[in-house]
Amino acid sequence: MITFEELGLDARLVQAVTELGYVNPTQIQEKAIPVLLSGTKDFIGLAQTGTGKTAAFGLPLLNIINADDRYPQALIVCPTRELCMQIVNELEHFKKHIRGVSVVAVYGGASIGIQIRDLKKGVQIVVATPGRLIDLIERKAIDLGQIKYVVLDEADEMLNMGFKDDIEFILQNTPQRESTWLFSATMPPEIRKVSKKYMKEPFEVTVGKVNSGNKNIDHQYYITSAQHRYETLKRLIDFNPGIYGIIFTRTKVDAQDIAEKLTREGYDIDALHGDLTQAQRDKVMGEFRDKTLQLLIATDVAARGIDVQGITHVINYELPDDIEVYTHRSGRTGRAGNTGICMSIVHARETFKLKAIEKLIQSTFNRVDIPTGKDVCRKQFYAVMDKLLETDITHGDYDTYLPMLEEKFADVSKEDILKRLAAVEFDRFLKYYENAEDLNLRDNGRQKPREFGADRGAQGNNRERTRFEPRGERQERGERAERGSYGGGGATPGYARLFVNLGTKDGFYKASFLQFILDMSDLKKEVLGRIDMKDMNSWVEVEQGASHQMIRCLDGKNYKGRRIRMNDANSR
Ligand code: AMP
């Protein structure tokens, strides 16, 4: 295996990385560093976060800038404040033995005055988010005139966040640029376009497969109905007592609501979303990093660039709208050679997305049963007992108390003590899950989820892991959902198809009709499947669990003097 010395790095940098505990370069470092040390070659590195890409560009940058010239020579642009700070933090470690090199971070949400003052002190490397950088350029508070090296980190994220014009502006305003180094996890066409426009015959390196997910991640999905999403989330958390995870939601309202609900129910969780002040964000992130918080719930934008080690689980409360986002979410776990689990709570109507994601991550999803109440209790029970056995009793003066304890428990058997301990520790779960319902959305028994007993070998319940369903079926269902076809009148699995004698002649168009039936039934739009409107009547797909409520609330009611008739179309 090659060493850092052999890559051609300055001895002071080699010493610093050795002190950080890096033994050998990672794949991206091995491929990038020798090329980037030339300083004149444009470079594209397709690598996920967690592959060591910060050092891949950070070390050569520190090697080739001139410490005697106190003006900005290198510019690193990245999507978020967190990433900015992480990069600066790593560079600080790398440059530990090099004198006279300054690195400054400039990002939004913090005092621009202080950043301007820092820049004036004379710096060689600026790490910036696009918005704040443009602000500084416009205020003439930063001089990019002598920037030789521009690094675009997490370029795909920056494009996703709408920074394309800003990036082009930055590239256009670095006239002395000798090389551009672009790092990205994925390679959407827009990035190709930017690279074609601003880079000269870039040296391209791919680590792993482009767009591919990390192979250390077990991608699991759980199918439930919309109204059971929250309950499913709780069950997944309860079934994983040692979880240290991030839950992703699509909206900040969801992130906030779920965090509040779970906190009320005794979970260690806080939310990270765009409405927080910088101080609040820092507090939440600090607590999560210290593991004072076991769970973080975040929107995609708020969580971008976060590099927290040791995350065991990522939970998608919903699948992201843009499937590329799935890679970024799941990539928060399974880092630095560890394994991780990415769990997605999926609605029957969303299953078609899974196939597209599988293609993107080049890995298969495993459908897993949502654990039953009993599963959760058993798991919690074993966790309590493991904790008991693993508790260190070598420190502390427990022997002093032993005679007293022995006297107190003289007439209680060992079995009883164990039972009592278990009752104290997990009574809450027993009570809560006593009559817990099955949250799985079953689909005509065609599809076989992987059951929770599957990996519980020690408990003598070692069933084989079963792949969920033949790809063909899922694809067909997905395509049907996309085509909007009713397949000759049959409902999508998991849905009831309801007939209603209201149509466009009643003055409805689709959106107003949808709003009307939801208002009447007090149901959420997630329970709805396809809507097929005709002049005089319509057909609505409603999740099986919610269809009775819909019928009960609409059938027999009046609309503009007309009696509404609603019934299950397939049982007529
Ligand atoms: P990155 O992809 O830059 O976010 O890096 C992921 C993590 O890997 C960071 O915590 C780095 O400190 C760590 N790391 C980077 N390079 C190496 C290396 N050669 N050996 C061990 N750890 C590394």
User: How far, in Å, from the CA of 107 to the mean position of ligand 1?
Assistant: 23
Whole-number Å distance, alpha carbon 6 to ligand 1 midpoint, is 18
Q: How far is CA 39 from CA 43, 177, 333, 499, 501, in A?
A: 10, 10, 33, 68, 71
The tens digit of pLDDT for each residue in 506-528 reads 877 777 788 788 878 878 878 88
173, 206, 239 - which closes a domain: 206
Q: Is residue 448 part of a domain?
A: no
Average pLDDT over every residue of 121-142: 94
Note whether 502 and 556 are same-domain residues. Answer: yes
> What is the SS3 assignment for 495-555?
EEEEEECCCHHHCCCHHHHHHHHHHHHCCCHHHEEEEEECCCCEEEEEEHHHHHHHHHHHC
Q: What is the pTM of this model?
A: 0.50
The share of the chain scoring above pLDDT 70, in percent, equals 89
How are the residues of the chain apportioned to helix, strand and coil, as percentages rounded to the nearest 5?
45, 15, 40
Q: Do 73 and 167 belong together in one domain?
A: yes
User: Which CATH number covers residue 524?
Assistant: 3.30.70.330
Do 383 and 236 lie in a common domain?
no
Q: Average per-residue pLDDT in the chain?
A: 84
The confidence score (pLDDT) of residue 231 equals: 94
Examine residue 504 and state whether it is found in any structural domain, yes or no: yes
**pLDDT level of residue 115 (50, 70, 90 thresholds):** very high
> Same domain for 87 and 148?
yes
**Domain stops at, among 370, 395, 416:** 370
Structure-block tokens of residue 418: 């164990």
Q: Report the nearest atom of ligand 1 relative to the CA of 309.
A: 10
322: containing domain: 217-370
321 plus 407 within the same structural domain: no
C-alpha 36 – ligand 1 centre gap (Å): 18
pLDDT digits over 6-54, tens only?
Answer: 999 999 999 999 999 999 999 999 999 999 999 999 999 998 777 899 9
Torsion over CA: 457, 453, 334, 189 (sign): positive
Q: What is the CATH number of the domain that holds 11?
A: 3.40.50.300
- Between strands 245-249 and 295-299, the pairing is parallel
Ligand 1 centroid from CA 51, angstroms: 6
Confidence of residue 483 (pLDDT cuts 50, 70, 90): very low
Over range 445-464, report the average pLDDT: 38
The pLDDT score that the predictor gives to residue 443 is 61
Atom of ligand 1 nearest to the CA of 90: 12
For residue 25, which atom of ligand 1 is closest to its CA?
A: 19
- The mean per-residue pLDDT over the stretch 131-150 comes to 93
Judgement on whether residues 378 and 366 belong to the same structural domain of the protein? no
Q: How large a percentage of the chain has pLDDT more than 90?
A: 45
- Could you report the per-residue pLDDT of 379-399, keeping only the tens digit for each? 888 888 888 888 888 877 888
Over residues 491-504, the mean pLDDT reads 88
Band (pLDDT 50/70/90 cuts) for residue 476 is: very low
Q: How far is the CA of 26 from the centre of ligand 1 (A)?
A: 8
For residues 345 and 317, state if they share a domain.
yes
Nearest C-alpha to atom 11 of ligand 1 is from which residue? Answer: 52
* Residue 441 covered by a domain: no
Residue 305's pLDDT band (boundaries 50, 70, 90)? low
In a domain, 449, yes or no: no
569 has a pLDDT exceeding 90: no
Hey, what long-range contacts does 10-15 have (CB within 8 A, 24 or more apart)? 10/62, 10/63, 10/98, 12/97, 12/98, 13/59, 13/62, 13/63, 13/94, 13/95, 13/97, 13/98, 15/97
Residues flanking ligand 1, CB < 6 Å? 22, 25-26, 29, 49-55, 307, 336
Does the pLDDT value for residue 351 go beyond 90? no
Between the CA of 7 and the centroid of ligand 1 the distance, in Å, is: 16
Name the token pair of 328. 């970024």
